[in-house]
Amino acid sequence: MHDDRTLIEARLKRVLDERIRPAVYPESVPLDVAVWTAPGEPVPVAEGLAAHPEPTKVGAAWGAPWATSWFQVTGTVPTEWAGKTVEAVLDLGFDENMPGFQCEGLVYRPDGTPVKGLNPRNQWVRIAAPATGGENVHLHIEAASNPVILDYHPFLPTQLGDKETAGSEPQYKLARMDLAVFDETVWQLVIDLEVLGELMQELPEDSGRRYAVVRAIGRALDAVDLQDVNGSAPAARAELEGVLSTPAEPSAHRISAVGHAHIDSAWLWPLRETVRKVARTTSNMTALIEDEPDFVFAMSQAQQWAWVKEHRPEVWAKVKKAVADGRFVPAGGMWVESDTNMPGSEAMARQFVHGKRFFLDEFGIENDEAWLPDTFGFAAGLPQIIKAAGSKWLLTQKISWSQTNRFPHHTFNWEGIDGTRIFTHFPPVDTYNCSMKGSEIAHAAKNFKDKGVARHSLAPTGWGDGGGGTTREMIAKAGRLRDLEGSATVKWETPSAFFEKAEAEYPNAPVWVGELYLELHRATLTSQAGTKQGNRRSEHLLREAELWAATAAVRVEEFSYPYEELDRIWKTVLLHQFHDILPGSSIAWVHREARATYAKVADELNGIIDAAQRALAGDGGAGTLVFNSTPHTRDGVPAGGARPAAIDGQSAIASRADGGYVLDNGLLRVEIDARGLVVSAYDIVADRETVAPGQAANLPQIHADFPNMWDAWDVDEFYRNTVTDLTEVDGLEPGEDGASVRVVRSFGDSRLTQVLSLAPGSPRLDIDTEVDWHETEKFLKLAFPLDIHAERYASETQFGHFYRATHTNTSWEAAKFEACNHRFVHMEEPGWGVALVNDSTYGHDVTRAVRASDAGTTTTVRASLLRAPRFPDPETDQGVHRFRHALVPGAGIGDAVREGYRINLPERQVAGGAEVAPLVTVDNDAVVVTAVKLADDASGDVVVRFHESRGGRAKATLTAGFPVGSVDVTDLLERPLTDAAAPERSGDGVALALRPFELVTLRLTRA
């Protein structure tokens, strides 16, 4: 037989596009359309329904950027359509290739009942099935004219990302507003042909199954009367029954399809628009659940559920019913799908606390899985946090985006810094927006790296990013793929059902130890410095607020612990840790609002802190108390206590012959040359130089920074090929305090001012940097070349630290040319080390070189300060920024931990005479307390969370500064752990024995 396969494939495409798909709606009549545009921000539904619209028509332009238009569509079903299925086809001007990234709508009945959402891949509303004829149609559409930011020519700078700069030009034209007859037989024929056509493309060219499908398609197309598609569709479908009913091979890969709509809580749209995106999507999904008995939909991010509850109570009622039926599944157990690299220890814990508690309170459901398909890599401390929250599984997708190395597993055990292992799955379908295409299903089966020992994978199915969710077409395709020869099998299942099967079939899954580093989007550790500083400051203010409010509530009878305020503020901070807000990859509007929100949060938290400290300090005495919020004694003030500070020693400044200066406090001698660079940082106690010979530290460096794509997200390795050292100075002068030097530099259109200071009694050089930044597509770093031989270095992460190589022996190590730290990075030779601590930066790089002069090793650490990408925010980081760093020569890892807290938690001075004893004390500095608070259930119990911070075993005693009743070891949600050994007590003290990096939460009742 001659091979006419390609001829049939081409025929299929044309007949589908030009004849069969148009026949899905064989008859239509236009609807009458009127429109009212809301002034300013979106209005309540009742106001939109009550507005008086003006007539408009198909083809009319509508929708200024970010505006809301309320369309009213009315009409009557023709009497001759009696007995037929009738739908409204409502095309707002969609580009079907961009679901979630442009205009959208939510359809209401006149009484305000939501019907369903409209998006490029979901333009229909069922009117009657069957129709009686003569039905009146009256619908309202709340239509959002969200501009297209990520267009077909992506990453071009645009002013559309903020309503203040977007202008008023209409973005869309109404394309279709019709009543139409829906021919379900033709629609089913479309699905039959799409499924078989897509399957055919994936089968081996020489396989009998491929030719069987080709011949069946050919016969079906022969059966289609192109002048009467609707009349001939049943005959065409009959020709396909045989190939559609042939079962899959027994060894076929098995896919658990989970209905899904990954909705970014903010990205190329502001937070307020996400509230509406979630309402549209959940309306569609609850409607699908009613129509499709096998369909299961999972939605993560408790914040998004809370938005539906608060803003769309009618939709919420449908959601609650679907949850009760087990069809609409809360997933992930986190407040948002957050970044996991940059959030601090407590913040990462609270993501699970607030997320899981919301689902428990609302539905009595507890999540066993963490659900983070789009997060940009995973910190090595996360497994322990997942387990401490009572969960045991993790799903993500993003590691498939890595540019250099392919991850070796799809199902595996992920081991964190403390040894905790979490069963983890990367869906081999390589997308969190699966649409049930044959190419996607085939890719999942071929790509699955654990073939032979496992056979289950998961496919998050539905349009995401901007929402939309699963469509009836996807469900119909999945039905045909349930048991189809040549394909993996597909079955709708909940995430927990998938994980139970996957874990049972793979009890000895391989182990991956350490961080899950994404070899992409590395610049998200630096972009939008103001957002990152707001996050870091908020995290530490929350620590202070909880600590001092708890202390005051226990010690001062009339002081009330601000439960509701702290709960609300935590949720606000957690929301802004979403993986496109904190990483700096959202539009200008998002970051403008974030900066204002962080300022409001700081004011409110400072108010709580101030009230608690004043209550504790009392009215008596004319002295000054210093409150120490760090977990270590500081200048004689105990951790978590307050008393007058005691500082020993003094600092001196002298001139250098070259016009520079020398700072000396007896512990550290720092020489600053005439360029304002640190040419020596001499550890007097250890008799050891810190700065590499012939080099200078505190060196600002600037690079050209124009990545190949994803401007705000990416920095490509070639940025290192060109660098400019900023060594010219405008001014260099000693500070008035006699212990500091001020340096001023100009470069490009920007200005950099630094104050280098050496405090009495302190073995660290403090560096305060102010940058008035007006560069474009540049990357600013601060370099410290150190005379230290280190093949690895430590970066702080949640509840501990993680080691990375300084060398590039393998492609895995070379790919980590930009990485994340929290408060410190630390390099060490046996017996001596150096720490670089910071108050608000995350990105950094570490490189090593061997000097020709003395064969010594120079290890250079560089803190990343600022970038200037132009997409999606063309004004990224323009303006004034302030950073604090400190170089700590002679530091062990414990010193790095201590100094990291110190720079982030400045002392607070309060007038008063009543010294404040700590609410709890720990007698081993290796054990770091990360939270002291009252229990969330308002019982008055004191909750203390702590961990071993140095990577070794630690014994300690935690002593309460109040009479203690019972002591329980709990999970993060403050629930006693039934399998935990009872704490060993002596009076109000608790004996602790911690393994490396072990995290523990204790709940202490007050006797």
- Count of residues making up the chain: 1007
Q: What angle do helix axes 563-575 and 302-311 make, rounded to 10 degrees?
A: 110
> Residue 993: what residue type?
A
| Number of Cα atoms under 13 Å in the Cβ half of residue 327 | 18
Q: How far is CA 896 from the centre of its chain?
A: 27
DSSP state of 31: P
Q: Look up residue 247 and give its DSSP letter.
A: P
* CA–CA dist 627, 645 (Å, integer): 9
Instruction: Name every residue whose Cβ is closer than 8 Å to that of residue 591 and which is 6 or more positions away in sequence.
Output: 528, 530, 531, 581, 584, 873
87, containing H or E segment: strand 86-91
Q: Which residue in 424, 427, 344, 336 sits closest to 387, CA to CA?
A: 424
Q: How far apart are CA 664 and CA 205, in angstroms?
A: 78
The Cβ of residue 736 has, within 10 Å, a number of other Cβ atoms equal to 8
The tokens 């002591």 sit on which residue?
A: 967
Q: How far is CA 155 from the centre of its chain?
A: 21
The DSSP annotation for 290-347 comes to HH-TT--EEE--HHHHHHHHHH-HHHHHHHHHHHHTTSEEE-S-SSS-B-SSSS-HHH
- What is the enclosing helix (H) or strand (E) of 614? helix 588-617
| Known active-site residue 635 | no
Helices H / strands E in the chain, number of each: 19, 53
In one letter, which amino acid is 414? W
- CA–CA distance, 29 with 610 (Å, rounded to integer): 67
Assign 670 to helix, strand or coil.
strand
Question: Do 198 and 210 touch, CB atoms closer than 8 A?
Answer: no
Q: Which of 162, 374, 925, 968 is catalytic?
A: 374
Asked if 329 and 302 touch (Cβ cutoff 8 Å), the reply is no
| Nearest by Cα to 961 from 917, 931, 1004 | 917
* Cα–Cα distance, 536 to 898 (Å, whole number): 17
| Nearest partner of 822 among 840, 846, 803, judged by Cα | 840
Cβ-contact 128, 137 below 8 angstroms: no
Q: How far apart are CA 487 and CA 246, in angstroms?
A: 11
Burial 641-658 (b: 16+ CB within 10 A, else e): bbbeeeeeeebebeeeee
In order, the DSSP letters of 374-393 are: T-S-B-TTHHHHHHHTT--E
Assigned token pair, 708:
């190949």
CA gap 324, 378 in Å, rounded: 33
Contact status, residue 963 vs residue 1006, Cβ threshold 8 Å = yes
Are 492 and 499 in contact by the 8 Å Cβ rule? The answer is: no
**DSSP per position, 100-137:** TSS-EEEEE-TTS-EEEEEBTTB-EEEEESS--S--EE
379 with 341: CB under 8 angstroms? yes
Distance (Å, whole) CA 219 – CA 507: 47
Which residue is listed with tokens 């299929």?
A: 12
d(CA 104, CA 469): 13
Residues with catalytic roles = 374
